[in-house]
């Protein structure tokens, strides 16, 4: 496995650690914050009052930015294996995540929503694109399809729930499984059983004309 692939796999395997950061920030909140009902965005709110405060809001926003950039860079490093479509979608998702961290919801709700929208659209599409790229590895491909469909359900449910009950759980259904799905895809494009590496069909070199 070449260095570019090694770094790409390593970066995407790092991303599930985001969940630990989010849980730690949530545990530090004051007030009645609930993972099932309250959104990730609330953890990044800089304002505090007697009812609710997130002392770790800077950590949360930095994590959203950092792990988003990790996704974009990791996808670019693995572009020869992920293919152009999946890579482009993952880069969009990563940059969207970074933009979300730069625009906390309590500072500018409209900008925050605008920044977050591409993330919820691009990630499930990226998982489905990766499933197609890795269709020769049936187990991984099927898992990616299931994960992609689950994130669609989560994203649509989150939009419909608004600020209502279950919004936090639905948002996390749209976000957390992607961390594992992309990490699994990264592992899958590492050394194959034959000792080679997987190269996406849309990144294969075009043979010269006879």
> Whole-angstrom Cα distance, residue 39 to residue 37?
7
Domain count for the chain, please give it: 1
> Whole-angstrom Cα distance, residue 41 to residue 72?
21
Return the structure tokens found at 81: 């294996």
> How high is the pLDDT of residue 47?
87
Q: What range does the domain containing 104 cover?
A: 3-191
Best CA proximity match to 22, nearest among 46, 47, 49, 41: 41
pTM of the model: 0.88
Asked if residue 200 belongs to a domain, the reply is: no
Asked if residue 53 belongs to a domain, the reply is: yes
> How high is the pLDDT of residue 197?
52
Asked if residue 59 belongs to a domain, the reply is: yes
> Whole-angstrom Cα distance, residue 185 to residue 80?
13
Cβ atoms of residues 1 and 188 within 8 Å = no
> How high is the pLDDT of residue 190?
72
> How high is the pLDDT of residue 206?
41
Asked if residue 202 belongs to a domain, the reply is: no
Asked if residue 199 belongs to a domain, the reply is: no
- Residues 114-140, mean pLDDT to the nearest whole number: 96
pLDDT in tens, 40-62: 999 999 888 888 999 999 999 99
> How high is the pLDDT of residue 61?
96
Whether residue 194 is predicted with pLDDT greater than 60 in this model: the reply is no
Asked if residue 97 belongs to a domain, the reply is: yes
> How high is the pLDDT of residue 8?
95
Cβ neighbours for 72, distance < 8 A, ≥ 6 positions apart: 90, 91, 93, 94, 95, 98
pLDDT in tens, 140-190: 999 999 999 999 999 999 999 888 889 999 999 999 999 999 999 999 997
Asked if residue 134 belongs to a domain, the reply is: yes
Asked if residue 18 belongs to a domain, the reply is: yes
- Residues 194-201, mean pLDDT to the nearest whole number: 52
């Amino acid at each position: 496995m070449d260095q570019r692939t090694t770094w790409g796999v390593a970066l995407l395997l790092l991303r599930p650690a985001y969940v630990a950061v989010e849980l730690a920030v949530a545990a530090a909140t004051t007030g009645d914050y609930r993972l099932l009902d309250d959104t990730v965005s609330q953890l990044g709110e800089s304002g505090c009052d007697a009812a609710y405060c997130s002392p770790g809001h800077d950590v949360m926003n930095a994590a959203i930015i950092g792990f988003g950039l990790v996704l974009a860079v990791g996808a670019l490093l693995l572009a020869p294996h992920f293919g152009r479509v999946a890579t482009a979608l993952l880069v969009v998702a990563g940059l969207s995540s970074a933009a979300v961290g730069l625009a906390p919801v309590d500072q500018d709700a409209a900008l925050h929503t605008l920044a977050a929208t591409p993330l919820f659209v691009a990630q499930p599409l990226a998982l489905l694109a990766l499933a197609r790229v890795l269709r020769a590895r049936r187990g991984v491909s099927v898992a990616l399809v299931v994960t992609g469909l689950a994130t669609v359900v989560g994203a649509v449910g989150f939009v419909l729930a608004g600020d209502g009950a279950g919004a936090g759980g639905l948002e996390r259904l749209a976000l957390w499984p992607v961390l594992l799905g992309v990490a699994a895809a990264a592992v899958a494009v590492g050394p194959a059983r034959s000792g080679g590496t997987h190269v996406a069909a849309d990144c294969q070199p075009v043979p010269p004309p006879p």
